[in-house]
Structure 1
Amino acid sequence: MQVSGIARIDKKTKHLALRLQKGEIAVIDHKDIDSTCARMLVARRPSVVINASASMSGRYPNTGPSILISAGIPIIDSAGPEIMSLIREGETLLIKDGRILKDGAVIAEGALFTELDVKRIAKESRANLAQELQSFAENTLRYIKEEKSLILDPVEVPEIGTKFSGRHVLIVVRGEGYIEDLAIIKSYLQDVKPVLIGVDGGADALLDLGFKPDMIVGDMDSISDEALKCGAEIVVHAYGTGDRAAPGLDRVRSLELNAAVFPLQGTSEDMAMILAYEMGADLIVAVGTHSSLIDFLDKGRAGMASTFLTRMKIGSKLVDARGVSRLYRRTPGMKEFGILIAAAVVPVLTVVLQLPAVRTWFGLIFFRLRHLLGL
């Protein structure tokens, strides 16, 4: 394999994906590439991905590398941490098999990561899941004790303009299958017109589908400038108090936009659900949310205490629409369309043929045909 192109480099894959262009070389330092970041890269169509770390460490069966390889994007794996300081943004690189060249000199070397590697490591990592699950469960139980205030204490919601009371709310997170699930419930969006909340990059997903979000919440680290400027109300997630508690606020201010700040324990999607609940939403529909062991390991989280507590608090108001697209994958064939048309046409013809004028008209045509044929 030989590929050349302009390098785009960032330790944060989701940051890199915001500026990566088609045909460029993505240089990342991402141990265990997760499915969400992989799909962000696939959408940008780089010629190759160079990963300083192991794309699959074997700790758990992450699916990011398989997504990239299936999309025809090769991965040069485990190129070494020093590559992040040897390459500058915008430099031209040449990839020859696993060797990485700059100005004709080899600066690093990795291994071409293949589907066989994915299958081998995935098989090995499944043996580790029991230990990961035990550790995850223990951490979750421990943090539930520390974060129980999420459901026991009153929540101080910031002053916002969006009206929630008595309405449905759709929360979109850029998680597994979110694009397909959004497409399936498009008619629901058109008919019910719920309040639309995009969690970070979930706002881009709504815009791509032709819907403007009413509110954007989160860290603002994986959302495009265009989405932030779409006119939606912005609520930045803060992790405590102090100047650095809300890292997303700097980006919002750099775009000369206003934002409310909501300090709350847990993830940004937890915050979105709590916000909708506290503001009186009648029903909360969630798409792309994280709820499984793999989801949280992908995000680098050791437990899911806040998510467990959030869902316990919201209760029956929450409808998790994740995976709904799997229920409607089959598309009707010509036979089904034929039956549908016949079912519609036959009753109409039956009624029409009972009309006296129509029966007289058909009688005249029949008489004329008999006369022409000499019958």
Structure 2
Amino acid sequence: MSLIEARVKAVVNAERSISGRYPNLGPALLYREGIPLIDNVGTKILETVKDGDTVELRDGRIYLRGVLVGKGSVMNGKTIKREMALAKRNLEAELDGFIDNTLEYAKKEKDLILGKLELPKLRTDISGRHALVVVRGKDYRNDLSIIKSYIEEVKPVLIGVDGGGDALLEFGLVPDIIIGDMDSVSDRALRKCREIVVHAYMDGRAPGLERINRLGLNAEVLCCPGTSEDIAMLLAYENGAELIVAVGAHSSIIDFLEKGRKGMGSTFLTRLKVGDRLVDAKGVNKLYREKVKPKHIVGLVLAAMIPVVIAGAMSPPLQQLYRLLSIRLRLVLGY
């Protein structure tokens, strides 16, 4: 759940919210929602203020039981705009290092990802079907809303990547498969889904499997480098999916830098491999926003009037009224 969804009253950041390395969107989103952000307070406050303490925020100062325990700068629209402009200028240098890291890791991982993967045998039949891979990324709710009719009509295999399983449940959709390291998906989603695949490290360690075992559930294990959303796409591809539709997936430098990643080698390779079947629906809500036009309302009213007019024409009292009005009109007009 995001800070905005949790309806927090304010955010206090011990460090800088905008590092200046790249333009992260978080501070602007908080400001747009009217949530105060006190920035760069210092890490000492993490030792002073404990979980559950009630603090008072006043002009960038933080008070605990009346005692000043920290001071930062209040991020306003002007400050955010200035720092974002600086971050955009620095993005080119950040991009240079990001590309180098991406290519370096792509060389190391190409055989593992582009070669034949040792995949677990799935109970879910994907061959010849569409596969919808849902990641709980930016704007996933809006994108899922836009393609809801596609889901209802085509009935693709529903694959949730960790918290993407909960994203599907939000829309009344039960995941066929949940894949990931199981660090951000709810117990409810794991119990409801039809099949679980735990993403493990290349050395075989699978911390997520411990959680599955504690819940008394069964899961397959897949050892592969890269992110869980990469593995989800590869799993769908290798199992013969006709089309892979991705919602909320991470694909840009900003996406990866915000997650603390310095490269995207596995994602680059994965998209090279599955690209001919991949449709990235991220941001599709910005392409089409249905609006009700006046002509639609007029058409609806006229359509509703038709049965009323027909019923009126068949009603004896209304027929009599019509004849009286007709006679009156003739007298007035003199014919």
Give the TM-score band, short-chain normalised: 0.7 to 0.9
Partner deviation per Cα, 1:173-205 (whole Å, 9 max, x = no partner):
122221111100001111111111111222222
Asked if 1:117 is matched to 2:73, the reply is no
TM-score between both structures, scaled by the size of structure 2: 0.87
Could you tell me how far apart the structure 2 residues matched to 1:326 and 1:277 are?
A: 27
Q: Tell me which residue corresponds to 2:210.
A: 250
Q: Counterpart of 1:237? A: 199
Using the aligned pairs only, state the percent identity. Answer: 52
Q: How far 1:252 sits from its partner (Å)?
A: 3.0
The Cα of 1:78 is off from its aligned counterpart by 1.4
| Contact 1:150/1:309 (<8 A) preserved | no
Q: CA deviation at 1:366?
A: 7.2
Q: 1:92 to 1:253 in 2, by over 3 A?
A: farther
Instruction: Check if 1:129 corresponds to 2:129.
Output: no
Aligned to 1:37: none
TM-score where L is the length of structure 1? 0.78
Determine the structure 2 residue equivalent to 1:198.
160
Matches of 1:232 and 1:218, distance apart in 2? 15
Aligned counterparts, 1:115-194, within 5 A? 115-194=77-156
> Is the 2:127–2:239 contact (alpha carbons within 8 Å) kept by the matching residues of 1?
yes
**What's the CA shift for 1:326?**
1.2
Task: Name the count of aligned residue pairs.
Answer: 324
Equivalences for residues 55-74 of structure 1 within 5 A: 55-74=17-36
The yes-or-no answer on 1:265 pairing with 2:225 is yes
SS of the residue corresponding to residue 150 of structure 2 reads helix
User: What secondary structure sits across from 2:270 in the alignment?
Assistant: helix
Q: Is the 8 A contact 1:285 1:320 kept in 2?
A: yes
Deviation at 1:257, TM superposition (A): 2.9
> In the alignment, what sits opposite 2:262?
302
Q: Does the alignment pair 1:211 with 2:211?
A: no
Gaps in structure 2 of 5+ consecutive residues? none
Give the Cα–Cα distance (whole angstroms) in 1 for the partners of residues 38 and 216 of structure 2.
39
Q: Deviations 1:322-357 (Å, cap 9, x if unpaired)?
A: 111112125122234325766x799x99xx9xxxx9
Distance 1:97 1:259 in 2: 51
- Bigger relative contact order, structure 1 or 2 (CA pairs below 8 A, ≥6 apart): 2
Cα displacement string for residues 9-39 of structure 1 (whole angstroms, at most 9, x for unaligned residues): xxxxxxxx5xxxxxxxxxxxxxxxxxxxxxx
Instruction: Kindly provide the amino acid, as one letter, of the partner of residue 59 in structure 1.
Output: R
Structure 1 distance, partners of 2:195, 2:293, is 43
Residues 51-92 of structure 1 show CA distances to partners (whole Å, capped at 9, x for unaligned) of 112111111000011111211211121122232233332222
Give deviations 1:227-281, integer Å, cap 9, x for gaps: 2332342222112124xx3232333334333322211111111010011111121
Counterparts of 2:323 and 2:277 in 1: how far apart (Å)? 68
Is the deviation greater in 253-262 or in 321-330?
A: 253-262
Work out the CA distance in 1 between the residues paired with 2:72 and 2:327: 88
Distance verdict in 2 for CA 1:84–1:228, change over 3 Å: farther
Letter in 2 for 1:285: V
Contact preservation (8 Å) 1:150, 1:310: no
In 2, distance between residues paired with 1:152 and 1:322?
Answer: 24
1:279-306 Cα offsets, whole Å, 9 max, x none, are 1211111111111111111111111111
**What's the counterpart of residue 95 of structure 1?**
57
CA distance in structure 1 between the aligned counterparts of 2:61 and 2:86, rounded to whole angstroms: 27
1:79 partnered with 2:32: no
- The amino acid of 2:263's aligned partner reads G
* Alpha-carbon separation, structure 2, partners of 1:336 and 1:364: 34
Q: 1:368/1:63 Cα in 2 relative to 1: closer, same or farther (>3 Å)?
A: same
Distance 2:271 2:212 in 1: 29
* Residue of 227, 237, 240 corresponding to 1:280: 240
Amino acid at match of 1:203: G
Superposition CA RMSD, Å: 2.6
